Amino acid sequence: MNSKFNRFELIKSAIDSLDRSYAPYSHFNVAAAVLASSGKIYTGVNVENASYPAGICAERNAIFHAVACGEKGITAIAIIGGLNGQITDYCPPCGVCRQVMREFCDPEHMTVIIAKSTDEYKEMTLAELLPESFGPDSIV
C-alpha to C-alpha distance for 17 and 20, rounded to whole angstroms: 6
108 part of the active site: no
- The region that residue 83 occupies, defined by phi over 0 for left and psi between -120 and 50 for alpha, beta otherwise, is beta
The residue type at 123 = E
- Catalytic entry in 48, 59, 120, 123: 59
Q: Comparing C-alpha atoms, which of 46, 41, 33, 120 is closest to residue 78?
A: 33
Residues labelled catalytic: 59
